[in-house]
A and B are shown apart, each in its own frame.
Chain A
Amino acid sequence: MKLYLKIWRQKDASSPGKIVDYTLDGVEGDMSFLEMLDILNEELVSKGEEPVEFDHDCREGICGTCSLQINGEPHGPDRLVTTCQLHMRKFNDGDTIVIEPFRAKAFPVIKDLIVDRSSFERIQQAGGYISVNTSGNTVDANSIPINKYDADEAMDAATCIGCGACVAACKNASAMLFTSAKVSQFALLPQGRIEATERVQNMVRQMDLEGFGNCTNTGACEIECPKGISLTNIARMNREYLSATLKG
């Protein structure tokens, strides 16, 4: 199929960017979206032009590196997939596809479609851990029995890949789904309860400092999340935060 691509090009963080039009022929349905961009880049390189830079790594939907706002949606029109898992069979011959970087003040553009998501790193560093040394001198794993329901729910929260689609989709560029996923995972486990109060306060504080917007419960993040992280995590974080505040 033949596609008309409108791609955001930006030399570096300090340069202005713009949409550049490309036409690409010979795209097949079995290709992933990134393989389609590979072909475009191959053409650009052979013409001596600079290829379109985009973040990607594992190409199997787990590393969370790939981003891309495709036709106004993070990771494109398909659900529960990352851009690398999006296949061209979701598009039709003659389609125009607008490709932009994830937009948020806290995700500044590095080049073309690549953004800097280190704000997520700092949120995790503010408290996304259990303070236990890695000496191995811990209790036997089975001496901490955990209700299967809680363990499964913690696992569901923990599957967040940190891609930033929630921020990109949210009309407020809020990072609540991302932050709450980590808070939830630990809040649900007995090991994580010990530091729960400080954790939620520190992580929320860092989230605010990074300049993300406020959650207005539109639910866009949940719909666009490639891992289906649920809004219940945000509610749980709200609850954790409230109780942490009330406890003082």
Chain B
Amino acid sequence: MNLNNLFYDVESLLKTHPCRKFVEKPALMSGMIKSSLARKVIMALSGLFLVVFLTQHFTINFASVVDPETFNSWSHFMGYNPLVQFVLQPILIAGVIVHFVMGFVLEIQNRKARGTAYVKYKGSANAPWVSRNMIYSGLVILAFLALHFYDFWVHEMVYKYIEANPEDPTRYYAETVEKFAPIWRTIIYVVAFFLLSLHLWHGFASSFQTMGVNNKYTPAIKTFTKIFSVVIPLGFAFIALYHHLNPITH
């Protein structure tokens, strides 16, 4: 795989603009990917990766509703397995960052590409709301992630590395349920899950199109997207509400 095709230098291109073919292979430019298609592929790949993560996350969380014991043991595994902690977790964080940063980069470019704004622009005539507002659903999810990280990830880091508490494979269920005691947090979570649903509704199937998949399986992919983007966020919301409504009484 020759990555040079993905990276090219706009300055040197402009010199040969408008219609000269390139002779030299452009230099690898400070890691910034300049091809719009390459950027899109990165968006799609990181998105699909996050979808996979979401599925896994959902499976573990759902265990908390079904059987606290299982939930505790899975959570403990995820929290202390070195492979998960030191390989998968950084990859996940990188995936999240890449997806967001690339999303912003694309959004900024896309806004610039219009130039003068329309006096009247009827976006609703030809494209669904969700597809036109991915940046907003994404921003809400980002804000939610900050809270979510604070709630769980920061808590974990403090617990494990700062306070250096001993391993306790039974604490996870109670900690989780406790988080959902305040109604405000539960509401924020549910709202975020709704926007996650919107985001997935367009994003999931769209990533296949970006990867070049548009064929006889596309209707199936689209149907699956719709099911997935409703079921998973609905499930997450259910879990949050379930724990809010079923506090642990000591």
Contacts and interface: CB of A to CB of B under 8 A. Distances in A.
Contacts of B119: 6, 8, 19, 98, 100
B199 to A, nearest CB: 12
Interface in B123-174: 123, 125-128, 131-132, 134
A105 B115 contact: yes
A218 B127 contact: yes
A245 B112 contact: no
Nearest to A242: B212
Interface string B85-121: 0000000000000000000001001101111111111
Nearest to B2: A248
A218 B132 contact: yes
B55 interface: no
Given A72-B120, A219-B127, A103 B209 contact: no
B186 interface: no
Contacts of B84: none
Contacts of B212: 235-242
Contacts of A109: 116
B182 interface: no
Contacts of A108: 115
B206 A216 contact: yes
Interface stretch (A28-36, A59-67, A166-174): A166-174
Given A73-B122, A214-B39, A171 B19 contact: no
Nearest to A98: B120
A72 B214 contact: no
Interface in B183-223: 202, 206, 209-215
Interface residues of B, number: 53
Contacts of A69: 118, 120-121
Contacts of B40: 214-215, 238
A106 interface: yes
A236 B213 CA distance: 8
Contacts of B127: 171, 218-220, 223
Interface in B1-51: 1-2, 4-6, 8, 10, 13-14, 17-19, 21-22, 34-41
Given A72-B118, A73-B125, A103-B116, A204 B202 contact: no
Nearest to B116: A103
A224 B115 contact: no
A149 to B, nearest CB: 13
A204 B214 contact: no
A125 B20 CA distance: 9
> What secondary structure prevails in chain A residues at the interface with B?
mixed
A123 to B, nearest CB: 10
Nearest to A108: B115
A219 B131 contact: yes
Interface stretch (A38-46, A85-93, A133-141, A205-213): A205-213
A191 interface: no
A4 to B, nearest CB: 13
Interface string A220-248: 10011000000110111111111011101
A171 B123 contact: yes
B110 A205 contact: no
Contacts of A23: none
A239 B206 CA distance: 14
Given A213-B109, A217-B206, A235-B209, A105 B125 contact: no
Contacts of A220: 123, 126-127
Interface of B: 1-2, 4-6, 8, 10, 13-14, 17-19, 21-22, 34-41, 106, 109-110, 112-123, 125-128, 131-132, 134, 202, 206, 209-215
Given A103-B114, A118-B18, A125-B18, 19 more contacts: A72-B125, A73-B122, A122-B17, A173-B115, A201-B5, A207-B36, A208-B34, A209-B13, A216-B106, A218-B127, A224-B126, A234-B214, A237-B37, A238-B209, A241-B37, A241-B212, A245-B1, A248-B1, A248-B5
Interface of A: 6, 8, 19, 69, 71-73, 77, 98, 100, 103-109, 118, 122, 125-126, 169, 171-174, 201-202, 204-205, 207-209, 211-220, 223-224, 231-232, 234-242, 244-246, 248
